[in-house]
Chains A and B, each alone.
Chain A
Amino acid sequence: MRVNFTVNGRPQEADDVWEGESLLYVLRERLGLPGSKNACEQGECGSCTVRLDGVPVCSCLVAAGQVEGREVVTVEGLADYAKQRAEGGCATGACGTSLQNAQQWEAKGDSHTGEGTELSPIQQAFIDAGAVQCGFCTPGLLVAADEMLERNPTPTDADIREALSGNLCRCTGYEKIMDAVRLAAARQGEAV
């Protein structure tokens, strides 16, 4: 079957989709957006978290056919999404306006760190706080944490833990992830 939907502000069409495919598979294998991760495919780890019409969901548990006509934001579009929000644009993810650099992922040039890439506050905080080790849980955590800070700009530690309880991390012991979210919240507070 064919599925049409919007990813990171850009209309996308996926063809020859098998009816049992998940949104996660379509993003990763058909649209060249492998940022959302495939750690458990049973909704237990959160590494595939995306926003579906603004709501954080496990993309492994959304059937591809269910996203017809809907808006998806993935980690690849998180920086632009946060920028738009900061600039007072639409924060629901349903704007559909031209997000610049809505990233069609591809292998980049030879020497590359992404240095100079514009990041959202939560992405920068994850790097600065040492919250990234293997990084496999990171995309899902970023999408979930960004959404929490959107709803609750001054979270307590318990609020952070509750909001991120659907995202497993096996490397960090979560302490640096707590630090990163606190840091992002503090920087967000300063910026206001």
Chain B
Amino acid sequence: MSSPNGTPTKITQGSQTKGGIGESTLRPDGTLKVTGEFAYSSDMWHEDMLWGQILRSTVAHAEIVSIDTSEALATPGVYAVLTYDDLPTDVKNYGLEIQDTPVLAHGKVRHHGEPVAIVAADHPETARRAAAKIKVDYRELPVITDEASATAPDAILVHENRDDHHAGHVPHPNIVHRQPIVRGDVAEARKRADVIVEGEYTFGMQDQAFLGPESGLAVPEEDGGVHLYIATQWLHSDLRQIAPVLGLPEDKVRMTLSGVGGAFGGREDLSMQIHACLLALRTGKPVKIVYNRFESFFGHVHRHPAKLYYEHGATKDGKLTHMKCRIVLDGGAYASASPAVVGNASSLSVGPYVIDDVDIEAIALYTNNPPCGAMRGFGAVQACFAYEAQMDKLAKRLGMDPVEFRQLNAMEQGTLMPTGQPVDSPAPVAELLRRVKAMPMPPERQWESSEGADLRELPGGLSNTTHGEGVVRGVGYAVGIKNVGFSEGFDDYSTAKVRMEVVGGEPVVTVHTAMAEVGQGGVTVHAQIARTELGVTQVTINPADTRVGSAGSTSASRQTYVTGGAVKNACELVREKVLEIGRRKFGSYHPAWATAELLLEGGKVVTDGGEVLGDLADVLEDEVVEVEEEWRHRPTEPFDLRTGQGNGHVQYSFAAHRAVVEVDTELGLVKVIELACAQDVGKALNPLSVLGQIQGGTVQGLGVAVMEEIIVDPKTAKVKNPSFTDYLIPTILDTPTIPVDVLELADEYAPYGLRGIGEAPTLSSTPAVLAAIRNATGLELNRTPVRPEHLTGTSLSEA
């Protein structure tokens, strides 16, 4: 079939720009994005295309007694209605690590909103009406919604007959994975403690709430295969899961990355990919599926809600003695990334502190709640919220300044993680705290103006709830640690294909990777790396697709490190080949070709002393140099299943926040005045993008501090607020100024010394805001998000 409208195109940038690494080069896709021409997956359009619609379960846990699709099939304009029985092969499940997720429900649904049937029709309304005519008879089952109901002796198993690789070591089949970490002797260390604080913390279910809903277009191809244009975080991971279900070899499932409207972890799992392909192959027509916002809340996994139980001890001079914790993550009905989230939560549960004696346990549950998986911060966010609350409690008990207390116990380069792994690159935890504390404070009563109170600067904003009455300021600090890249022995590689040739007398470079650009600016950085390494100005970025090797996921703060590393590596290999050609052609004219360190700069071959040996155009003439190569960071190892020991992580990322809030203490409304951040980024490849990542991550942390939560009815396990009317994310009027102090301490093991940066600011933002609210109100506040009723003692039902 012909190409659809909205097929991604190459992006060339740089005829006038220098734009190497370290510069704030502008996005190559910026113009397309501000003119509305950039094609997102939901913008794809094909002549004669059909619209796919998914019928989802209206109950959380039930046996499916029967499904009757006859009336839907008979609807004019409907081309196909598929259920489990129509799946073409024996592979009927998928999953990131554990293949436990049915493509379409088989005999049972395990959570509210699970896909049961799919419809293709010539208009979305026709598809919706037809889907509504499918009759599903459910026999409801009791719902499992928390640890008590999941591990009760007579608990119904969410998944019967588990045979995944975690099944053998978990204490109960309704536990996906359990990771203990034991180091030192907690019982002995506890005796040295002068103060001991305990806390039980609750972290609510957060949604990624990316703005571009799940969507894509599947186009059947003449060879019996299918071409899927899709918004995802990892093309090759999708491919690995899709092809077996379709019964096609991977080379017959072509995947092209379409414009991605944000991701934040929510596109790591499949959503409508297989459904669109199944309908396209069945009908022989292109099929487009676009979720609306309501469906999007059911169409992707969320951040794990968690219960965290912590005990810390400290001596009276402020040294931490020990830590015990238990972290219970609710993974919902399917495993998704739960095992890895458990690994992160346990191994990062100590935070960026030195504690030699620890006893840690993290588990993820199977329940009938919505499935949870990857979201920015991935297991480290929940832990940071809890351990930072503990640090404040300890400081208060000891009568110490909370920042000084943290600095006294701060991790440094060389500190051992609870897993026994040494931190082998800079860990400027105390310095980040110092910097964030040193930033000037915003003026007091900044809401007062000559014309009275400016409502927009007060809690409640334009809703006119206070003119200053009840408003109390509070200040809070927090710091966090996040691992970068995939851990625990995962083969975390990326692939880059780099090509150099002369076009119109000018050397140009083409970079081709399968990296998912989700907004983070990877495409900008790839071009910068190519310019720096190969001395050209003009760089073309090819669309990401599966014609090149895997780039791994756009997650875990890893893409600049890993795919950036792969691009750098491929560029270096191209450079070697170009120099070889140069030596072959011109070596006899100048001895430096053989003896000097040679670089490519400004379109020329130069010695490290700056002497020009020749133009790249003359060296290459009509030769084309192309390299495709995989690149890996240092290997990691799995954590021991009993002791949690092991060199599991690649790199760490650190950020600290200071939050200044004003709380209307009578109404329980919060206005965050400022969220200052200090972060070590190793090396800022693109300083403008670095700030954008830090500020964006900071505000997602703010959101889950004061408003964002998916509310699940504990009696029915049904989602109560799947809309932007009731799942609130911060508006520009909820967002403070975010001054950022960027520190660049190189990690000698990473490309250019860089550090993955995307997630760390999401960690410390939430506990800093909570600390500031505690500071303003004097309340203990052990849950997030904190809602007005928690600040006013009105959280209990009147009934």
Contacts and interface: CB of A to CB of B under 8 A. Distances in A.
Please determine if A and B sit in direct contact within the complex, based on CB atoms under 8 angstroms apart.
yes
B32 A113 contact: yes
A60 B381 CA distance: 35
Interface stretch (B136-144, B257-265, B324-332, B561-569): B257-265
B540 interface: yes
A38 B213 contact: yes
Contact of A117 (B35, B290, B457): B35
Given A34-B6, A34-B39, A119 B31 contact: yes
B211 A34 contact: no
A127 B35 contact: no
Contact of B34 (A28, A38, A107, A126): A126
B211 A47 contact: yes
A103 B35 CA distance: 10
Main secondary structure of the interface of B (DSSP, over half): loop
Nearest to B261: A136
Contacts of A164: 732
Interface in A10-32: 18, 20-21, 28-29, 32
28 contacts: A21-B125, A34-B36, A35-B35, A39-B211, A39-B261, A44-B723, A113-B28, A114-B32, A115-B13, A119-B31, A119-B35, A123-B35, A127-B34, A133-B262, A133-B519, A134-B211, A136-B210, A136-B211, A136-B212, A138-B33, A165-B732, A170-B209, A170-B264, A170-B696, A172-B696, A173-B697, A175-B735, A175-B737
B795 interface: no
Contact of B36 (A20, A109, A115, A139): A139
Interface string A38-67: 111110110100000000000000000000
A113 B13 contact: yes
Q: Which 9 A-B pairs have the closest CB atoms?
A: A35-B36, A134-B519, A136-B261, A135-B33, A114-B31, A173-B695, A173-B699, A34-B43, A44-B724
Nearest to B42: A38
A73 B210 CA distance: 26
A17 B40 CA distance: 23
A64 B9 CA distance: 32
A170 B31 contact: no
Contact of B35 (A75, A109, A167, A178): A75
B725 A158 contact: no
Contact of B9 (A112, A132, A158): A112
B412 interface: no
A131 B348 CA distance: 32
B27 interface: yes
B692 A137 contact: no
Nearest to A162: B456
Contacts of A178: 732
Contact of A168 (B4, B689, B731): B731
A126 B732 CA distance: 16
Given A107-B4, A107-B7, 10 more contacts: A18-B123, A75-B34, A76-B37, A107-B9, A124-B34, A133-B692, A169-B211, A170-B264, A172-B695, A174-B699
Contacts, number: 227
Contacts of A119: 31, 34-35
A170 B33 contact: no
Contacts of B40: 34, 37, 136
Nearest to B263: A134
Contacts of B208: 170
Nearest to B33: A135
Interface residues of B, number: 76
A128 B26 contact: yes
Interface in A150-172: 158, 160-162, 164-172
What band does the interface of chain A fall in when counting residues whose beta carbon is under 8 Å from B?
35 or more
B78 to A, nearest CB: 15
A171 B725 CA distance: 19
Contacts of B10: 110-112
Nearest to A41: B292
A78 B723 CA distance: 30
Given A39-B213, A134-B210, A176 B695 contact: yes
Interface in A66-82: 74-76, 78-79
Nearest to B690: A130
B31 A38 contact: no
B691 interface: yes
Contacts of A185: none
A170 B688 contact: no
Contacts of A37: 40, 42, 211-212, 261
Looking at B36, B208, B212, B260, the one whose CB has the most chain A CB atoms below 10 A away is B36
B293 interface: yes
A132 B27 contact: yes
A29 B290 CA distance: 12
B13 A165 contact: no
Contact of B732 (A40, A117, A134, A174): A174
A39 B293 contact: yes
B149 interface: no
Nearest to B291: A38
Looking at B29, B264, B688, B696, the one whose CB has the most chain A CB atoms below 10 A away is B696
A20 B125 CA distance: 9
A105 B123 CA distance: 21
A47 B43 CA distance: 14
A169 B33 CA distance: 14
A124 to B, nearest CB: 8
Contact of A161 (B212, B260, B732): B732
Nearest to A16: B123
A79 B45 contact: no
B39 A115 contact: no
Contacts of B42: 34, 37-38
Contacts of B261: 37, 39, 134-136
A132 B262 contact: no
Nearest to A120: B34
Looking at B6, B33, B209, B724, the one whose CB has the most chain A CB atoms below 10 A away is B33
Contacts of A139: 34, 36
Interface string B201-219: 0000000111111000000
A7 interface: no
A64 B354 CA distance: 62
Contacts of B596: none
B542 to A, nearest CB: 10
A106 interface: yes
B735 A113 contact: no
Contacts of B457: 158
A134 B267 CA distance: 14
Contact of B724 (A21, A42, A114, A167): A42
A78 B729 CA distance: 28
Interface in B457-499: 457, 462
Contact of B45 (A34, A39, A114, A136): A34
Given A162-B456, A165-B731, A173-B695, A28 B211 contact: no
A108 B37 contact: yes
A106 B45 CA distance: 10
B213 A105 contact: no
B31 A134 contact: no
Contacts of B462: 162, 165
Given A162-B733, A165-B733, A137 B211 contact: yes
A6 interface: no
B338 interface: no
Contacts of B290: 38
A119 B31 CA distance: 8
B89 interface: no
B5 A106 contact: yes
Contacts of B27: 127, 130, 132
Given A113-B12, A119-B34, A158-B454, A133 B729 contact: no
Looking at B4, B34, B263, B456, the one whose CB has the most chain A CB atoms below 10 A away is B34
Contacts of A130: 24, 26-27, 688-689, 691-692
Interface in B534-551: 540
Contacts of B31: 113-115, 117, 119, 127
Given A38-B42, A107-B3, A109-B9, A177 B36 contact: no
